[in-house]
Amino acid sequence: MSLCTGIVGCILLYLLTYPSGQERNTSTPFLREGHTYTQYRTRVQKDLWLQQDSRLHCHIESESSTLALSPLQHKRLDVSEKLHSLQCWMQEKLYFKQLSPMQQVRVFKADEGTYQYSNQTLKTSHALFSLLELPGNQLPTSLQLPNNCFKGSAKKLSFSFSEKRHQKIEAEEFKLLSPTQDNL
């Protein structure tokens, strides 16, 4: 494995080194197919915006991550990021209740997860999550969860952010937790 000092720089240099329509010199390419280039990052934050009936916000934070870039055939790149100790706040719905703006928000924590950039999918293991109804339409990124909110755990949790512009959530070995168990 090699260390890339800036993943954006690596991608740009890769694309500039091999302009379309030109043959590549395979004896000394900058990014070689079959190799993985990595970058370690700390205090990572990601903000994703989805357009459904309204514009929905998803905020992801992790203590650290390892970003991996793998060149594939035909100038394609596989880019993934393994996130460590992550938290996510995700708006699922914005609406009005008696003329007051409201939002349905999913909050989850996991020891680790992998974000796949090509298909905008986040897969986590051993996740705790909660579903809340909150006032307003701005996504909070820190809050004390009430004891009476819906809480659950899953061995594996998968989120797809691009499927027909809708969030798709799948849970494996889902368990509903009592209000006093495993507070997020």
Kindly give the residue spans of alpha helices, DSSP state H, lying in the chain: 7-17
Mean pLDDT of the chain: 75
Q: Where are the domains of the chain?
A: 2-19+33-177
Q: What is the pLDDT of residues 99-137, one digit of tens each?
A: 999 998 888 889 999 998 888 888 988 888 888 888 998
pTM for the structure as a whole:
0.71
Amino acid, single-letter form, for residue 156: K
DSSP H/E element including 93: strand 77-97
82 has a pLDDT exceeding 90: yes
Does residue 7 or residue 155 have the better pLDDT? 155
Of 112, 108, 97, give the one whose Cα is nearest residue 145: 108
pLDDT category of residue 16 using cuts at 50, 70 and 90: very low
Tokens of 107: 């909050």
pLDDT at 10: 54
Q: What contacts 50, CB < 8 A, 6 or more positions away?
A: 56, 58, 161, 165, 166, 167
